[in-house]
Amino acid sequence: MSKYLSLLLSSCLILLCACEEVVVINSLDRAIVQAYLYAGSSVDDIRLSQPLPFGVDEDSSGLPINDANILLTHNGEDYALSLSPGDSGYYHYEGEDLKILNGDSYQLSFEYKGIEITSETTVPPPPTGLAISQTELEVAPVTAPMQIRTLAQMPPVELSWDYQGDVYYYLLIENTVDSTEEILQLQAGGGPGGGGGPGGGGGRLRARFSFVSTPFQDINYEIQIPALTEYGLHRVVLFRVNQEYVDLYETLEQDSRDLSEPLNNIQNGLGVFAAFNSDTVWLDVRKP
């Protein structure tokens, strides 16, 4: 009988030892990743943060994580990222040997509070056949409110590219000239503005014009002239967006009843790790 009992007890022990692995991650121990790779560019847009607890009267952009040892892996080779100045949770790669290449996959990994966080993204192919309807645009300064209508009536600058399937793009329009003049030169009273000088706007320091569109699916884009606010040589970059960012973008809204969170491709974490590829055309905005 003892033989049978031993057999049964052994079976019970084996059963109990066969426990399933259950991993629990505290919400406040989760890392939030916002990491973007751009084909042909250096790696400098990777930010880590952590959630805030309820009831804390703080800006909800999250607490930066400044002590992570992040590895970016490409073709089996590890590249260690460094914390960027400012302790704002941004990381970059200092060397020149890490290339972001079309069609290649990159793995991001680091450990945070004992949890291994990983993600992977693949660089999409660039848009092809990108063309701009005009490379130079003459726009007269707008000095009176009535002239704004004239601006709006100008035909848009058209961008077009090849159809690559139901993929997403976003557009960056950025003035490459540091010191430039504004197109809108209205004064508070509606009279002629001071314009004309570097920095415009009465000599105030201001950032260069930059516009980023929301992701969209199309094979053309119209740049409406009133959207351009400065003179200068503008870089018009069409980014092809990979699926990870599309997933995030399409699920950005959280329903407060369901607490649905955006789709993410961060294993054991939150956020997004995405890669983009692009083509560039130029548009010079000039005075007549």
Partner 1 sequence: MCILFLWILFGPVQLLAQSGSYTMTGIVKAEKTGEPLPHASVKIQGTRLGALTNTDGWFTILEVPVDQAEAVVVSYLGYAEKSIPLDPNIETQNLIIELSTSEYVVEEVVIEAGTKQVMKSTGMSQISLNPAQIQNLPSLGERDIFRTLQLMPGVSGTNESSSGLYVRGGTPDQNLVLFDGFTVYHVDHFFGFFSAFNPNAVKDVQLYKGGFGAKYGGRLSSVVELTGKQGNTSEFDLDAGVGLLSGNLSLEIPLWKKGSILLSGRHSYPGLDNNLYNKIFDLFVEENVNPNVTDPSFQFYDANAKITLLPTDKDVVSVSFYNGQDDLDNSRVIDADRRRETPRGTVGVLIHNEISDLLSWGNWGVSGKWSRKWNPRWYSNMVLAWSNYYSQREQIANGEATIFRRDTMITRPLNNSFIEDNNVQDITLRLDNELKITTNHTLEFGTQLTSHDISYLYTRNDTTEILNRKDLGDLYAVYLQDVWTPMKGLEVQGGIRTTYFEPTNQIYWEPRVSASYGLESGLTFKAAWGKYQQFTNRIVREDVLNGSRDFWVLADGNDIPVGEAYHYIAGVSYEKGSYLIDVEAYEKRMSGLSEFSLRFSQERRGATPSANELFFTGTGVARGVETLVQKTQGKYTGWISYTLSEVVHNFPDLSDYAYYALHHQQHEIKIVQSLELGNWILSGSWVYASGKPYTAPGGLYELTTLNGDEYGYINVGSKNSERLPDYHRLDLSASYTMKIKRSRLQLGLSVFNLYNRRNIWYKEFEIQGNELIETDFQYLGTTPNLFLNFNLR
User: Closest CB to partner 1 among 115 and 144?
Assistant: 115
Residue 227 within binding range of partner 1, rule CB under 8 A: no
C-alpha dist (Å) from residue 43 to 35, 46, 76, 82: 9, 8, 17, 10
Which amino acid is it at 102? N
Q: Pick the piece of the chain touching partner 1 (CB under 8 A) from 8-16, 96-104, 178-186, 225-233.
A: 8-16
Tokens 């969170």 belong to: 261
CB 120 within 8 A of CB 273: yes
Residue 52 within binding range of partner 1, rule CB under 8 A: yes
Gap between the terminal Cα atoms of the chain: 105
Would strands 45-50 and 63-64 be described as parallel, antiparallel, or unpaired?
antiparallel
CB of 213 to partner 1, least distance (A): 7
273: Cβ–Cβ under 8 A, 6 or more apart, which residues?
A: 33, 35, 36, 108, 119, 120, 121, 244, 265, 266
Residue 178 within binding range of partner 1, rule CB under 8 A: no
User: Closest CB to partner 1 among 209 and 231?
Assistant: 209
> Which of residues 24, 146, 188, 205 is near partner 1 by CB under 8 A?
24
Residue 116 within binding range of partner 1, rule CB under 8 A: no
C-alpha dist (Å) from residue 42 to 92, 97, 133, 172: 8, 10, 30, 17
121: Cβ–Cβ under 8 A, 6 or more apart, which residues?
A: 37, 105, 106, 108, 242, 244, 265, 273, 274, 275
CB of 215 to partner 1, least distance (A): 8
User: Closest CB to partner 1 among 134 and 210?
Assistant: 210
> Which of residues 146, 188, 207, 252 is near partner 1 by CB under 8 A?
252
Q: Pick the piece of the chain touching partner 1 (CB under 8 A) from 83-91, 106-114, 198-206, 262-270.
A: 262-270
Phi, psi (deg, nearest 5) at residue 127: -65, 150
Distance CA 267, CA 277 (A): 24
Which amino acid is it at 97? D
Residue 16 within binding range of partner 1, rule CB under 8 A: yes
> Which of residues 6, 61, 220, 224 is near partner 1 by CB under 8 A?
61
> Which of residues 2, 54, 146, 205 is near partner 1 by CB under 8 A?
54
User: Closest CB to partner 1 among 61 and 128?
Assistant: 61
Q: Pick the piece of the chain touching partner 1 (CB under 8 A) from 24-32, 83-91, 174-182, 279-287.
A: 24-32
Could you list the residues that contact partner 1 (CB under 8 A)?
1, 4-5, 8, 11-12, 15-16, 18-28, 30, 32, 34, 36, 49-57, 60-62, 170, 212-214, 245, 247-263, 267-268, 270-272
